[in-house]
Amino acid sequence: MNFTTNKPEQFTTYYSSKFADYVTSLKWSTSGEKLAITSAAGEVIIWENQELTYLQTAIGKSVDCVGFSTDGKYLAAGGQDGTVKIWQGNQLITTLENAPIWVDKLAWHPINNHLAFSLGRYVQVWDADKEEIIVTLNFESSSILGIDWRNDGNYLAVSGYKGLKVWSSENWDDEPYTFDHGTVSVAMGWSKDGKYLASGNMDRSVMVLEWGNPDPWVMCGFPGKIRQLAWSDVKTGTGAPLLATSSVDGVVVWEKAEDETVGWEAQVLTNHVDIINAIAYQPNSILLTSAGADGWLCVWKEDDEVSQILTGVNGGFSTLAWHPQGKFLAAGGEQGELLIWSKTND
């Protein structure tokens, strides 16, 4: 394991602060001008120009998911109290009451101001401009563990026990595409080009579905459940992006092989000594970052070696988020720390 590296630093500390409790979620606005932060104490905060604005102070109940609409007009947050709150600027304009259901997943449509969020075994889609419910979708099998829109907004993928369901947003009444693989889909997401849909599963497997192809690839043999996955923006020579998955304290990077019968080839990355809580690729890059309960945020150059280890939390890291232009890297700590690093000029 690498405790230090002799390479020049790629990132330097730009900003730091501390909140009342565990940082649960971090999301940048599309423009990169604002960063939304939520905590297990119920705080909702905006970081902008190195200043903090509290939209909500600690309420004693966790806020677990947050996100800006694609046009930056709205900010939504959901959590333990069952509400979904929507702000326009710094003004709270909508509160959707869903108690006692815990709202811990939400995702904005990539084009319209439509917000999908979890409601137990259901997903509801809310039109923020018209302030009305568009549709309520029944996942049936379990509580929702993942929600992700395809990049064109035409499909909404939902995951949980027994696998995935994908609805067409052009006709919500159509039966969803269902992939029942008999286990729990813990982590799920579309590739940026919308061609692939990946699922990381409780049974220690990864499934990659090429949209339109009924036969997915399934990769097995991990040491534990798949907790996180991340797609790169950049494609390899086969025309497919890289897929990173984490299980326990290790990361595996998958690259689609030239030979279709081979499927996806694996490269194992090991350096962490505790559970990895978040992974993400730098936008328009194959530079991968992983944040762990060991208090290390590893920067992986060329996906095979650690080029820098970022620290600064008293316990472990809980989450991370890349600035949309890759200029900054933000991370949250299990004891409420917020750290933002700036990219060093090459």
What would the mean pLDDT of 210-226 be, rounded to a whole number? 92
In this prediction, residue 303 carries a pLDDT of 55
Q: Which residues contact 90 (CB under 8 A, 6 or more apart)?
A: 46, 53, 55
In this prediction, residue 260 carries a pLDDT of 82
In this prediction, residue 180 carries a pLDDT of 87
Q: Would you place residue 346 in the very low, low, confident or very high pLDDT band (cuts 50, 70, 90)?
A: low
Mean pLDDT of the chain: 94
What would the mean pLDDT of 325-345 be, rounded to a whole number? 95
What would the mean pLDDT of 135-148 be, rounded to a whole number? 94
Task: Specify the range with the lowest mean pLDDT, choosing from 85-99, 138-152, 294-308.
Answer: 294-308
In this prediction, residue 5 carries a pLDDT of 46
In this prediction, residue 4 carries a pLDDT of 47
Task: Check: CB of residue 143 under 8 Å from CB of residue 129.
Answer: no
- Which pLDDT tens digit goes with each residue over 161-201? 989 999 999 999 999 999 988 899 999 999 999 999 999 99
Residue 79 DSSP label: E
What would the mean pLDDT of 82-99 be, rounded to a whole number? 96
Q: Largest alpha-carbon pair distance within the chain?
A: 57
What would the mean pLDDT of 226-253 be, rounded to a whole number? 96
As a whole number of angstroms, the distance between CA 86 and CA 31 comes to 19
